[in-house]
Every structure is written in structure tokens, then in C-alpha cells.
Structure 1
Amino acid sequence: MTDSLKPVSLTRESTTSVVLLATTPACRLSCADGTLLDRLNGQLAELSVLDVQVVSPSDGLGGLSADLRGIAKIARVAPGPVVVLPADLVAHTDALALLLEHPARDTSALVSYDATAAPMRPPVRVESGKVVAAGSSFHLVPEANATFRGVLQARETDLTALADVAEELAELAEMGKLGPVTTVEAVDLLLVGLVRSGVVVRAASIGQLHCDRVTGQVSADNALGRLADVDESRVRLDSAVKSSDGFFSTYFVSSWTRYLIRPAAALKLTPNAVTGISIGLAVLSSIWFAAGNRPAQLAGAVLLYLSFCLDCLDGQLARYTRMFSPLGAWIDSMADRLKEYVVYVGLAFGYAAGLPLSEGGPDGIWYLAVAAMILQTVRHSINYAFGAAAKDAGRIGVPGGKPATPLHESADGGRYAVPPQGVLRLARRMEREKVLWWLKKMIVLPIGERMALIAITAGVYNARVTFIALLGWGGVATLYLLAGRIARSAR
């Protein structure tokens, strides 16, 4: 049976629907907000949710198969992403927001890198931020390195796959081909089915937050106590800072801009406003660079550094306040290119000292500036073109949403991905060694390292050294990117 509960007040517009599985007695356990079901519905009202569909027990009829068919029915008519979660869940609101308010609205699952599996914490294996194997009481996972915490989201384009998987699981359950699985494992089985069908599932790590399913009043009280032991505001601040940023951004920018996030939020600054200020500083930096003398070069370098710091802050503020929008992401991306190229022009003007553009300036400075712009444009094109092509290939490659691995096969008969070979194996090894991991991130000349390179070489030396350094390092980065893209395509 399915009921529809509208959250009392929605803070943001959304098309995300939630399927709340109130099919176990534990969801009626008491807490300060009434029952766990009441508490969870109150949390959803604070997040970006269109509506909440509550799947209740079917009077003892149907059980698991009936619940799965109910989920399939909702998935087929939902206007946007669908989140499935059990109502016996005790979680931080920010843990739920990792899925419900992620700007990508992608197919994802809440996981913890605490790999200690339990009946309500099935094992999963995560590689490169994706769930590549998922388990249940019937499906084993070799080399598990995390556990699934019961919250699953399917993006709009994967809803057909979710519905197909749910219906196939329902049929297998009715035929007794899923072994001793029960109603409590409905969401676990859905994750298994999506992963085995070839759907890409992002692993959203809860980090220091908590998200646990409970079975009785004692375990519910303990779980609620664990929530109180965590400073959710501090964790939210920590989460606003990228954990996998570049070396320069991590140690020379985010190490102090994190302390500006709360003041910026208190001043009600929007991420787009911070982006605007960042653009303004970059333009001022270019003007100082155009002056061409040493004090002006140093001033331009300082302004460029501050501009980049604000460029990091706008993303941190967006994650902290959950103010995401496609327009904001586009503006931020375009602003990065605009600021960089404006600075190139300022540097070339300052070095050319007013000579005509047609003459190329002293030492061919204008030719070097144009070459640096072209190289950066090519590098960005390689990244974006490959990402778009990989998305298209992923959509085409899933055979109608039907599972590539039979859902009734246990781990003994399951299929596993072939380990990466050659270049990709070396890349995976580099990810495990911290020094090599940082080297791998720096070699591609990310924007943080690029801004640092420009500021230091322009402030200490001159624009010609800046452009030669950009072309040299950028050329190596381009070859590295091409080799990586070719290796991934070959796999």
C-alpha cells in the first residue's frame, strides 16, 4: 500500500521524489520527534524534496515482492530523481543531503568506509568513487571496502532501469530464487540490481556523520545518541572544503579560506556574488600586470592569488549553504577561463611596453600569449569532450536496463570486472602512495597550480618566463591527459 505525504514546508524547489519504506516495525519506534517515521519525514521537509511516497506493509500479503512492485510503479511515473530509503533509518540530516541536495542529482548510494558488514549494513566495493559491487544476505562481495547505509537515489534517466530491476527482483522473490532475503533488504537488493545491470552508481561517503538502520528501541536510542556526539555544523564546514583538490589549493588556499565560509554565509553573500568579486580582482590583476614595472607585477601577482582564493571560496560557500544551480556552475566555469585569459592579455601588454600587436612584441610575447591560450583551450576541450563521450557511451551501453549479471546468482557464480592493465594499473598504484598521488594530481596542471605558476613567475621574473613555463608544463599535461584518455577508452 502506498500513501502520499507532502512535507510541511519545502525550502527549495525540487523534482526529487522520496519512496519511504515504512515496512518494518522499527519505523514506529519512539524518539523525541514522535516516531522514527515522523522524525525522518521532518528531516525530508528540510531538504529538496518534491513529495514523499510512504510504502506501508501490505497487510502481510506480498511482502518483499509487493514492496518492490510498489517502488517500480512509483519509478515509472516520477517526474524526476527518486530516492528510496527505509523508515527505520536514524541519520544526520546532512547525511541525507549528500544525495538529496547534490547538484548532479545522479544515481548514488550512501556508504561508509567502515567496512564492518552487518545484517543492516551490507558490504560494497567502491573504486574511483563508484560502487562496483554490492551485497545482500544472498550476494557476497569479494574485497569489500565499505558498507551500504540504506539510502539509494536513481537519477531521472535511470528510473526505467530502477523499475525494471525492482520488477525482476519481485519475480525472483516470488519464485523463491533469492534465498532467505526478507522485506528489510528491499533497498539493498535494488542497489545490487542496479550495479549488476551496469548502471553507474556514485558512492556518497557519509564521512564522520552517522546513518544507521535500527531494529529495536535500544538500538534506536543508541543511534540517536551517536548523532548527538557529532558536531554536525563542523562536519558540514569540513565537507564544504574539497577533500581531493589540487596540492596548491589544498595547502595554500583552502587551509585558510575555510574560515571565511561562515562569515560569508552570515553576510548572505551568494556564491555567484563571490564569483563576481573574484572576476573583479582578476581584472585588476591584469591592469597591474599591464603596467609592466616590478612593483606593479608584484601587485598583480597578489591580486591574482586573492582572485583564485575567492574562486575556491565560491564553491565552498555553495556546498556549505547548498545553493547549487546549473547557472552558477556554468558561470563559475566560464569565469575561470575569462580570468585566466584576461591575465594573459595584461601580461603581454606589460611585457610589450606598448609595441604594435602586429609586430608580436619583444621576444614574440604576443605569439607566446596566443599559444598559451590555444593550449589551455585544447586541454579543456580534451577533458569536456571525453566526459561527454563517456556519458553517451554509458547510456548506449546499458542493454535496455536489464541486468548484465543474473540477479539470482550468488557471489560464487557472479561476474567481476577484469582488473585494469598497463597504464591504468600504474595509475591505481599511484593513488595508494601519497607522494605519487599528489604528483599525479599536479602533473595535469590544475587551475590552482596554474594560477600559482602565473603569479610566481610573473611576480619574480617576467611574462615571457610565465608563458614559456605554461607551454612547457601544459604540453606535458596535455600528453599525460591524452595517454590516460586513450588507456581508459582501450579498457
Structure 2
Amino acid sequence: MPDSLTRETTTTSVVLLATTPACKLSSSDGTLLDRVTDQLATLPVREIQVVTPGGGLGADLRGVAKIARISTGAVAVLPADLVAHTEALALLLDHPARGSGALVSYDAATAPMRPPVRVEGGKIVAAGSSFHVVPEANATFRGVLKAGEADLGALADIAEELAELADTGKLGPVTPVEAVDLLLVGLVRAGVSVRAAGIGPLHADRVTGQIAADTAVSRLAEVDEAKVRLDLAIKADDGFFATFFVSTWTRHLIKPAARLKVAPNTVTGASIGVAALAAVWFSEGSQGGRLAGALLFYLSFGLDCLDGQLARYTRTFSPLGAWADGMADRLKEYAVYVGLALGFAGAGIWQLAVAAMILQVARHAIDQTYAGALTDAARVGAQWGRPARSLLESADGGRARGVLGLAQRLERDAIARWLKKSVVLPIGERTALIAVTAAGWNARVTFLSLLCWGGVAALYQLAGRIARSAR
């Protein structure tokens, strides 16, 4: 029977798998099990369920299934032989995202305690074990898995199915060491959306012997966790302009804003106000007005990046904040379109402004309707809404071909990856395009540039969505 340590702070429960001999290895203050338990006590988790050995892998998995079926909030599963930075654990356990996630390292060098995974678009799309193969893996799983409340039923079903397969020997010579690895494989193959929480330079390693445990613990002191927390607040997969021309200076505002207890929503409001001033200056129509508008619009985008960075740093996301941030992006951009059109004296400018606005609305609709369709399909269990994969397939058959295969190959080249990010004309590139063309030329050039580049981006997005849907 699991032991229970209660902490009434959040709705997240932790299942700590103390089922391997390594969890009894000594650490500075007791065993590795004691160390992990002490770390968890500093994080906002409601209770810790410790699963002890008693029947092998099948019994361990059934224990996880039992806990998942009675839990009323998110459940995290991790092994007690894990030596990790507390900040690495916090990436999942202190993160306000309500969905499922797993701790990964983008060091793709696999090992028996580091099973391979493939990450695309911030999600784990393939996961491996000693039985399950992952072609084109680009990361490794580091032992911490969180199932969101909506996915607890899937976790329980998968744990029970895996237990049956393990007991009957159908998964090969898998051992209790792989319990959490198999659960990740099952969730991914069942079509559950699992966020990839990258640990960056932080450490999270499972160990099997005392020397390895001592080495892993000593390595933790080599990393400045406070600096890494700041670095991880910056989006790793952001666009070219945001990465190199905005985040380079907004990162220095994160800690002062956090010390002053500035809320991310406050920064969002300031961003809207600055964009409104930019629109006013654009409407003035002079060269100086357009230059001032361009600088203010750039500053507005910087604040727009800062609100997300501050939210990630302080871990204070909210549904209202996410909605407000998305709405603010649209509002600011369209207000600037109006300002530019008002400040231009030539004929036909309003037609161009409306066309540019319609094109952006259509592009957002392509993305949002596709994402919504997948969500709805997964909710009702439609087969096309989730990958049709069996836990008995040792190899992942999801290797993409054609357009999607080309896109995956481009991801492995740094220059091609940045070009791929830029071609879709994300908001950072649109901000730069508007600011540069408005300050250097005029509103007509701005709208024509938006229509040309935006048209190419729309076709690229549409082709990608069609290819994914056909797949």
C-alpha cells in the first residue's frame, strides 16, 4: 500500500516510485528517496504517494493506475532514484499548465536510463523504451511525467494495459526500472498531448550505483539554478526577430519586474497603450511621425514578449492572461493598420489595409481551426484525431514522409530552421516588417509587403495543415 504525505497547496499529486534498489543509495542527508521527498516538499504539490516494491513491474503499474483513478487533480510520476535540480522538477510540478508534460533534455545521447523521444512543436510525438524504438529521436526523457486531470483516465487505462502486457512477457525483458518510461510511451501512442519541458543545462539523471549517485549529486553544484530559471523564461523556439532583436534586452527587465511584483497582465496593458500611441503617430502622416510610430510599435512588441517571459519566470500563467495576450496582439496590429491608413494621403490605401487585415484573420483562422479540430476529435475519440499506434509495435511507424518529412529534415539544419520559422511571418517578423517599411517608405509599401509575404505564408501554412491532415 502506498504511504501518503499530504500538503494542501495545489491539486497536483505525486506518485514516487521507490521500486528499485537505487532509491536506497545514500545521499548527503539520508537516501536518494529522502532527498527527492525533501525536494518535493518545497514544491506546490498536494500529496506524495510512495509506491514500494511488491510484485514486479505489473504490480507497480497497477499501483499507478489505482492512484490515477481516485485522484482529483493532475498526477506526476517519477522514480525515487532520480538525482535532479529542484528547478528541473519545478518545470513540471510548479508550472501552471494544466495539461500533461514530461521532462526532457535536448541532448539526444540515449542510455538505458535515458530513453529516446522525438519532439516537434514543443510536444512529444514519439517515445521509446528498451522495447519501443524511436526513429529520428532528437531528445531524451529524464524520468518525470505529469498527467493532466483530463488525461488521468487515459493514464489509468494505459498503466493497466501495460501491466498486463508486461506480466505476459509481450513487451520483452522490460523491468520495473522502465515503469515511467513505458507510461510515457503509452500516453504518446494513445494520442495524449504531452508537453516537452526542456531542462536546458539543468541536470536530471537516474542512477544505479553509489558512485554514479555521488557523481550526479556533485554535478548539481556546477549549475546556477537562478540563472537557468531566467534563461528558461525566454522562449527557446521563438522567431528570429524576437530571439535576436527583442529577447536580448527584455531579459534584463524580467527580474526587476518580478521584484516590483509587476503582473504579466499589467505589462500586456502597457503594451496595448504603447501600440495605441504608435497608431496615433502613424496617423500623423509625416516622416517623423512614421519613425516615432515605428519605434513605439517595436517597443510595444518588446513589452508583448516581456509579459510572457515574466509569466514563465514567476509561473503565474492564467487562462485570462493567455486570452488577453492573444487578443492584444490582434488589437494592436489592426490599430496600427488603421493609423497607417489614416496617415496616408494617396488613393486606394484603405482597400490595401482591409485586404491585409483580412489576410491576417484568414491566417489565424487556418491555425486556430486546425488546432480546434484536433482537440475536438481527441475529446470524442475520433480515430483521425489521434495516432493509431499499438503498444506492441516495437518500432514507431510515424516517420514522416513527403512534405512533413522535408520539414523534419529542415529542422536539423540551423539556417534552414530559422528560414522555416521566418517564412510563416510570425508576429515578430510582422512587427519588423511594419516598422521598417513604414519608417523607411510609406503605408502603401507596408501593406503591399504584408500582402506579398503574408500570402506566401498563408499558402505554406495551408499546405502544412493539409499534409498533416492527410497523414
Q: TM (normalized to structure 1)?
A: 0.88
Partner SS for 1:118: coil
Give the aligned residue type for 2:91: L
- Tell me if 1:273 matches 2:266: yes
Q: Structure 2 unaligned segments of length 5 or more: list them.
A: none
How many corresponding residue pairs?
471
Contact (CA 8 Å) 1:161, 1:402: kept in 2 or not?
no
State which of 393, 414, 427 in structure 1 corresponds to 2:377: 393
**Secondary structure class of the residue paired with 1:351:** coil
Could you tell me whether the CA contact under 8 Å between 1:130 and 1:201 is conserved in 2? yes
Taking a change above 3 Å as real, the CA distance of residues 212 and 370 of structure 1, as seen in their structure-2 partners, is: same
Change (3 A) 1:279 1:20: same
Quick check: 1:246 aligned with 2:239?
yes
CA contact (8 A) 1:15 1:50 kept: yes
Match of 1:5 in 2: 5
Say whether 1:313 aligns with 2:306: yes
Judged with a 3 Å threshold, the aligned counterparts in structure 2 of structure 1 residues 292 and 230 are, in CA distance, closer, same or farther, namely: same
1:403-442 to 2 correspondence within 5 Å?
405-408=389-392, 411=394, 414=395, 416-421=397-402, 423-442=403-422
Indicate the residue corresponding to 1:357 in structure 2: none
Task: Confirm or deny that 1:54 pairs with 2:50.
Answer: yes
Asked whether the equivalents of residues 84 and 220 of structure 2 are also in contact (C-alpha less than 8 Å), the reply is: yes
Cα drift, residue 294 of structure 1 = 1.9
1:369 maps onto 2:353 in alignment: yes
Identify the residue that residue 355 of structure 1 maps to in structure 2. Answer: none
In the alignment, which residue of structure 1 is the partner of 2:278? 285
Counterpart-to-counterpart distance in 2, 1:455 and 1:340? 11
1:94 partner amino acid: E
Q: Give yes or no for contact 1:198–1:398 (8 Å, CA) kept in 2.
A: no
- Equivalent pair of 1:443/1:477 in contact (CA under 8 Å): yes
Q: For residues 257-272 of structure 1, what are the structure 2 equivalents within 5 Å?
A: 257-272=250-265
CA distance in 1, matches of 2:169, 2:410: 45
35, 42, 52: which is aligned to 2:38?
Answer: 42
**Matching residue's letter, 1:380:** H
Indicate how the Cα distance of structure 1 residues 350 and 140 shifts in structure 2: closer, same or farther if over 3 A, else same.
closer
Task: Identify if the C-alpha distance between structure 1 residues 33 and 331 changes in structure 2 by more than 3 Å, giving closer, same or farther.
Answer: farther
1:480 corresponds, among 451, 454, 460, to 460
Unaligned runs of 5+ in 1: 353-361
1:147 aligns to 2:140 (yes or no): yes
Cα displacement (A) at 1:275:
1.1
- Report if the CA contact (8 A) 2:103-2:199 is conserved: yes
Cα–Cα, structure 1 residues 327 and 32, in superposed 2: closer, same or farther, change >3 Å?
A: farther
Give the corresponding residue for 1:210: 203
CA 1:297–1:145: 2 relative to 1, 3 Å: closer
Of 15, 20, 28, 2:11 maps to: 15
User: Counterparts of 1:59-458 in structure 2 under 5 Å?
Assistant: 62-352=55-345, 362-397=346-381, 405-408=389-392, 411=394, 414=395, 416-421=397-402, 423-458=403-438
Kept in 1, the 8 Å contact 2:78–2:180? The answer is yes
Q: What are the Cα deviations for residues 184-237 of structure 1, in whole angstroms up to 9, with x where unaligned?
A: 221122223333334343333222111011233332221111111011111111
User: 8 Å contact 1:130–1:200 — kept in the other structure?
Assistant: yes
The code of the aligned residue for 1:191 comes to L
Residue 461 in structure 1 maps to residue 457 in structure 2:
no
1:165–1:402: 8 Å Cα contact kept in structure 2? no
Rounded Cα–Cα distance in structure 1 between residues aligned with 2:206 and 2:14: 17
CA contact (8 A) 1:18 1:82 kept: yes
Q: Mean alpha-carbon deviation: is it higher for 475-484 or for 441-450?
A: 475-484
Conservation of the 8 A alpha-carbon contact between 2:99 and 2:150: no
Pairwise CA distance, 1:253: 0.8
> After alignment, is 439-448 or 153-162 more displaced?
153-162
Alpha-carbon distance in 2 for matches of 1:183, 1:480: 45
Following TM superposition, by how much is the alpha carbon of 1:402 offset from its aligned partner in structure 2, in angstroms?
A: 12
DSSP 3-state at the match of 2:344: helix
Q: SS state of the match for residue 361, structure 2? A: helix
User: Which amino acid in the other structure matches residue 459 of structure 1?
Assistant: A
Separation (CA, whole Å) in 2 of partners of 1:416 and 1:474: 35
Say if 1:65 and 1:173, in contact at 8 Å, map to a contact too.
yes
Task: Note closer, same or farther for the CA distance 1:196–1:350 as it changes in structure 2 (3 Å cut).
Answer: closer
